[in-house]
Amino acid sequence: MTSISFRVRGKGKALLLIHGFPFHQAIWEEYVEFLSKNFLVITVDLPGFGKSPSLPEPFTLAEVADALLVFLKSKEIDQVAVVGHSLGGYVALSMVEKKSELFSGLVLFHSTAYADSPEKKDSRTKVVEFVKKNGAEAFTTSFIPPLFANQNHPAIDKVKNIAGESSSETVIGYTLAMRNRPDQIKTLERFKNPTLFLAGKKDPGIPVDSVLKQASHCQNHRIHLLESAAHMGMFEFPEETAAQIKDFLA
């Protein structure tokens, strides 16, 4: 069993925040302040990121989800809302697929239930080749700025530093796991509790029309579009997105 590094802040109903790629839980550091007055906020390092040990390679996102489900069980958490940013959303969907009754709500924060397109799979393969040749830091340095609509956003340096802590092995492992992940539309269809989509209108990786299309598969959903955000709403519009999460989960 992989030991998961985590922090708990605040009080109230449990809210699990799962970071994206290639970050760790420090990505939520300031953002937690907007939520911890209303929720017991749990942040984690996915296996291989931050202080959580890696899973044996090669691994799947389903195995990452299993590690988090074991973690929640070890903390005796039997009801929790989950917010997954990007990769974190893929992991959250896999957790919901496996144990939907555990989750009171699902927030896909710049994330998608669709599997990678053939073009995206090719792009992931090229990332693996690049990292093998040049190392993870060379990749993360160029990867981060396009995630922001404003290329001069003051948080970019901090995000680069967080991403720069990721090892080449972890970056490669998760890139392959994301490339090979299954479509999760049926998980959305089966999930009875509310699903919130937080999406940026300037996000090149997740077009708004794809968000609208997948939301139509949900039994109970809400969509909030960020007019001037790309892929990092927790930094681009922290108060607006946190307010949406609080209102949604209320």
**What does the block give as tokens for 29?**
């550091």
pLDDT > 90: what percent of the chain?
97
Three-state DSSP string of 3-69: CCCEEEEECCEEEEEECCCCCCHHHHCCHHHHCCCCEEEEEECCCCCCCCCCCCCCCCHHHHHHHHH
Instruction: Point out which residues pair with 42 in neighbouring strands.
Output: 8, 16
Q: pLDDT, tens digit, for every residue of 184-215?
A: 999 999 999 999 999 999 999 999 999 999 99
How distant is the alpha carbon of residue 82 from its chain centre? 10
Q: What structural domains does the chain harbor?
A: 6-115+182-249 (3.40.50.1820)
pLDDT score of 141? 84
Residue 246 pLDDT level (bands cut at 50, 70, 90): very high
